[in-house]
Amino acid sequence: MRSRRLPAVDQKLIQIVDAALADAARKSGEWLACRPGCTQCCVGVFAINSLDAVRLQAALDTLEKSDPQRARRIVKRAQQSRSQLTADFPGDPRTGVLDESDEAEERFTEFGNEEVCPVLDPEMGLCELYDARPMTCRTFGPPVQSDGGLGVCELCYHGATDEEIAACEMAVETDDLETELVRQVERASGTRGKTIVAWALGKARG
């Protein structure tokens, strides 16, 4: 997860997803409880693809030029998180690539559930690389269709009926574009597979 060559078309992907989020937020109104300082979705590790990782790395590079102390704090938190998670990492702790076996995926469900994302500013309760946040973060909150059905954040849509929730669904049709960009990044880096934020950023300066 060392390459930081972000495909130029990534900005198009971001624009599509952010527009879909804005539309879902408009339809949701006060049902969507996501606000600055709400950090529940920042606790617990989650898998990110190589495109997410490179986007974060590129943003950290930019931050290092404008605010090196802040960038170093992010890296330090990522390194501390890696240290705490290495022993139980369900994959290769050297590269940070997650194992794709059924057994490893089952282990991942119980892995790092109390670990705070290293990009979260612990004092302000804000994401320090918000504009470069992974796709999972960009689509969390509004109703999103998945294999398990229509899922929403447990803090949101209190008092809304199933029909009202469905009417607020965040419709994102970017799988083909994202898949192609992930392939580009993997070809450039020579590494295939998913990782987590701590591994994407913990070796960024190395």
Where in the chain are the domains?
A: 10-202
Q: Name the band, by pLDDT with cuts 50, 70 and 90, for residue 125.
A: very high
pLDDT tens string 146-196? 777 788 899 999 999 999 999 999 988 888 999 999 999 999 888 899 999
What are the distances in angstroms from CA 32 to CA 40, 124, 140, 143? Answer: 14, 21, 11, 10
Region 40-51: mean pLDDT is: 95
Q: Rounded to an integer, what distance in angstroms lies between the CA atom of residue 117 and that of residue 119?
A: 5
Mean pLDDT, residues 127-136: 96
Q: What is the pLDDT of residue 4?
A: 62
| Burial of 64 per CB tally in 10 Å (0-12, 13-18, 19+) | middle
pTM for this entry? 0.91
pLDDT tens track for 64-83: 999 999 999 999 999 999 99
Q: What is the DSSP-derived secondary structure letter of residue 147?
A: T
